[in-house]
């Protein structure tokens, strides 16, 4: 095999044992320093950094000195130990340097639109437009490599747990997953469309009906929805999982057998709240009551109390007859009035009229804007005994949310719980707090007062066919579950509805005629008529798992080539108009939006 013309070693290979050897390195000019006529260059490649030295006697010193940073070069020279006092312990090759005898320019570099080194603040729009430069930066480069290692570890562990990896189609039919589909026009069938899968839901269930027992896939999923810090617009990856002949507990056990060792592998020093490998469980209702969300951050050291019964017949009009929730935060007592005023504004952004609060003072008195309505020897004292962990836990501050809509009251205070804990630095650090959220409602009432599926339409209702025919739909629970960690939903799943009669009835309650089920879900409903096993699954989000293990808060910082939050690919300039020829081939004309008046 002929010698590589560019390098004999990478920029992370060389050590004192290589001293005296003649080697070749290739990479990017990371940094340059001219010290007394001697030119020092930090040469960087994927693996690391090596310091190279060009003495003033080198004929090419002036030429290489004028090359801009990020130029790609190959150098040849002799490895030597660094002089005493110049060892760099921050890099693996810090005990040696390369005395350069010759070089070759391999890739010129135009003026940089952003710095690679030093890694100063750069607007995200610039970073995404020049993502190939952004990916050269050490932190992002390492995060993308971490993502690769995490996915490799997940794949190994799933195979060890007895799962087989399969691939499912990308071009498929539309499915009611709760978001808009990306449609792909058909050239061969004018006026008809494929849809990119929001998830491989139907296919993975069909694999179970086909006799396979444990399936997984690192699956791309496509949803036409808005982006946010923990969700990318357009596409994302999930660990798609399905199992036959299982109960909810079996799915939980399999996932705990994955997540506990996975998180220990990549964050061994961070404790988890598992006991014997199992995560705690919360019902959806308890989670909404105690935390105001179905994605509770258990690192926050206080919970919400329900005060609704206390105010059922109260004369305080702001709370009377409403759902009233409250929590106490002793660390808020000494905050200035301006801090409380700012919280009012935050609550208003959430649709609340404000954020009421009471101060419980060390001598037992209550003060604050609503204290006059809450006498200590009356309802105020009852509130203190209900909300505070100890009757005399003073000084303290009790925050309230009240609304005729129970869900809104819960969500407002749940979000304020997160805001206050973050502002007061009360969120426990360097720990993973997992919980399963179970017993989701099967149905909910829409704004149009119509019964509709609340979570996953393919879930098995608890109680089966009998429950569907004898209970109020809004009282039904489904075998649906989420796995939450540190306030992020990292997995969602369900035990599936595999019985045709139950499926027809479940969809009928949500307003779907049997013919709709036969048409829209023909492949799955037909398969269920030929012997379907009980089965269930789950889909952990790869991007959010990497976020947690990388310690990032922006999901775009764990993806090599993400879209911007507005759904545009700034690097590839997508979406972009199609040519007239392309449109004719797929039998489309463009109907432009009507300008708003």
Q: Any idea what DSSP says for residue 546?
A: H
DSSP H helices, 130-247, are: 131-134, 138-160, 201-209
**Of the candidates 115, 102, 117, 112, which has an alpha carbon nearest to the alpha carbon of residue 63?**
102
> Above pLDDT 90, what percent of the chain?
85
Token representation of residue 340: 């409380």
Which pLDDT score is estimated for 227? Answer: 75
The pTM of this model reads: 0.93
pLDDT tens, residue by residue, 424-447? 999 999 999 999 999 999 999 988
- In degrees and rounded to multiples of 5, residue 5 shows phi and psi of -75, -10
Which pLDDT score is estimated for 232? Answer: 83
Residue 148: other Cβ atoms inside 10 A: 12
Distance CA 14, CA 51 (A): 10
Give 242's strand partners: 215, 537
**Of the candidates 478, 510, 503, which has an alpha carbon nearest to the alpha carbon of residue 493?**
478
DSSP per-residue string spanning 78-146: EEEEPPTT---TTSTTTTEEEEEEEEEEEE--PPPSS-SSS-----HHHHHHTHHHHTTSHHHHHHHHH
Which pLDDT score is estimated for 98? Answer: 98
Which pLDDT score is estimated for 456? Answer: 83
Residues of the chain with pLDDT under 70: 175-178, 229, 391-392, 597
Residue 418's H or E segment, with its range, is: helix 406-423
Query: CB within 8 A of 52, min separation 6: which ones?
Result: 25, 40, 41, 42, 43, 75, 77, 97, 98, 100
pLDDT tens, residue by residue, 246-292? 999 999 999 999 999 999 999 999 999 999 899 999 999 999 999 99
Residue with tokens 């939450």: 484
Which pLDDT score is estimated for 592? Answer: 86
**Of the candidates 221, 2, 143, which has an alpha carbon nearest to the alpha carbon of residue 559?**
143
Token representation of residue 576: 């972009």
Distance CA 206, CA 154 (A): 23
Residue with tokens 């691939």: 167
294: left (phi over 0), alpha (psi -120 to 50) or beta: alpha
Q: Is the peptide bond before 250 cis (omega within 30 degrees of 0)?
A: no
Query: CB within 8 A of 341, min separation 6: which ones?
Result: none
Which pLDDT score is estimated for 459? Answer: 95
What is the Cα gyration radius of the chain?
A: 30
Q: Is the peptide bond before 575 cis (omega within 30 degrees of 0)?
A: yes
Strand, helix or coil for residue 187: coil
Q: What share of the chain is helix, strand, coil (3-state, %, to 5)?
A: 30, 25, 45
Distance CA 378, CA 315 (A): 12
Q: Any idea what DSSP says for residue 231?
A: B
Distance CA 571, CA 562 (A): 9
Domains of the chain: residue spans and CATH: 16-107 (2.40.50.140), 138-245+536-584 (3.30.930.10)
Residue with tokens 């006059």: 372
Token representation of residue 105: 């320019």
Cβ pair 583, 577 in contact under 8 A: no
Which pLDDT score is estimated for 177? Answer: 55
- In degrees and rounded to multiples of 5, residue 534 shows phi and psi of -60, 135
Q: Is the peptide bond before 27 cis (omega within 30 degrees of 0)?
A: no
């Amino acid at each position: 095999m002929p010698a590589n013309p560019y390098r004999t070693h990478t920029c992370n290979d060389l050590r004192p044992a290589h001293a005296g050897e003649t080697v070749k390195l290739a990479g990017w000019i990371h940094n340059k320093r001219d010290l007394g006529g001697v030119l020092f260059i930090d040469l960087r490649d994927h693996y690391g950094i090596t310091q190279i030295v060009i003495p003033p006697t080198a004929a090419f010193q002036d030429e290489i000195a004028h090359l801009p940073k990020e130029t790609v070069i190959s150098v040849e020279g002799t490895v030597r130990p660094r002089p005493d006092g110049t060892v760099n312990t921050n890099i693996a090759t810090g005990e040696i340097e390369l005395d350069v005898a010759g070089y070759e320019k391999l890739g010129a570099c135009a003026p940089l639109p952003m710095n690679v080194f030093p890694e100063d603040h750069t607007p995200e729009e610039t970073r995404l437009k020049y993502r190939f430069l952004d990916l050269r930066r050490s932190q992002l480069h390492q995060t993308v490599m971490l993502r690769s290692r995490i996915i490799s570890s997940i794949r190994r562990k799933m195979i060890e747990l007895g799962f087989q990896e399969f691939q499912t189609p990308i071009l498929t039919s539309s499915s009611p997953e709760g978001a808009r589909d990306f449609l792909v026009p058909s050239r061969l069938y004018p006026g008809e469309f494929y849809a990119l899968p929001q998830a491989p839901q139907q296919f993975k269930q069909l694999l179970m009906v086909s006799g396979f027992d444990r399936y997984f896939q690192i699956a791309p999923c496509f949803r036409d929805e808005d982006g946010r810090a923990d969700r990318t617009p357009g596409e994302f990856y999930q660990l798609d999982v399905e199992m036959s002949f299982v109960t909810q507990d079996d799915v939980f056990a399999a996932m705990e057998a994955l997540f506990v060792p996975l998180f220990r592998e990549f964050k061994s020093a961070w404790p988890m709240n598992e006991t014997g490998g199992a995560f705690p469980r919360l019902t959806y209702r308890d989670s909404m009551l105690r935390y105001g969300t179905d994605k509770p951050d258990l690192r926050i050291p206080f919970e919400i109390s329900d005060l609704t019964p206390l105010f059922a017949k109260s004369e305080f009009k702001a709370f009377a007859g409403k759902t009233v929730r409250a929590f106490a935060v002793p660390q808020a007592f000494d905050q200035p009035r301006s801090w409380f005023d700012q919280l009012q504004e935050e609550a208003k952004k959430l649709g609340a009229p404000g954020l009421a609060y009471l101060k419980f003072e060390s001598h037992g008195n209550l003060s604050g804007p609503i204290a006059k309505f809450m006498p200590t020897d009356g309802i105020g004292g009852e509130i203190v005994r209900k909300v505070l962990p100890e009757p005399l836990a003073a000084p303290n501050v009790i925050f309230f949310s009240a609304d005729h809509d129970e869900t809104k009251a819960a969500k407002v205070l749940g979000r304020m719980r997160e805001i206050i804990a973050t502002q007061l630095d009360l969120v426990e650090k360097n720990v993973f707090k997992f919980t399963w959220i179970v017993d989701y409602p099967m149905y909910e009432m829409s704004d149009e007062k119509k019964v509709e599926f609340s979570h996953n339409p393919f879930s098995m209702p608890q109680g089966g066919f009998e429950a569907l025919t004898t209970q109020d739909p809004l009282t039904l629970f489904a075998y649906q579950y989420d796995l939450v960690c540190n306030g992020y939903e990292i997995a969602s799943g369900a035990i599936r509805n595999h019985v045709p009669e139950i499926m027809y009835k479940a969809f009928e309650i949500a307003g779907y005629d049997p013919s709709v089920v036969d048409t829209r879900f023909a492949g799955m409903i037909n398969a269920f008529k030929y012997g379907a096993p009980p089965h269930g699954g789950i889909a952990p989000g790869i991007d959010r798992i990497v976020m947690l293990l990388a310690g990032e808060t922006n999901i775009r910082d764990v993806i090599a080539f993400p879209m911007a939050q507005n759904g545009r690919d700034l690097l590839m300039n997508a979406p972009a108009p199609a040519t007239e020829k392309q449109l004719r081939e797929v039998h489309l004309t463009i109907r432009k939006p009507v300008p708003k008046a």
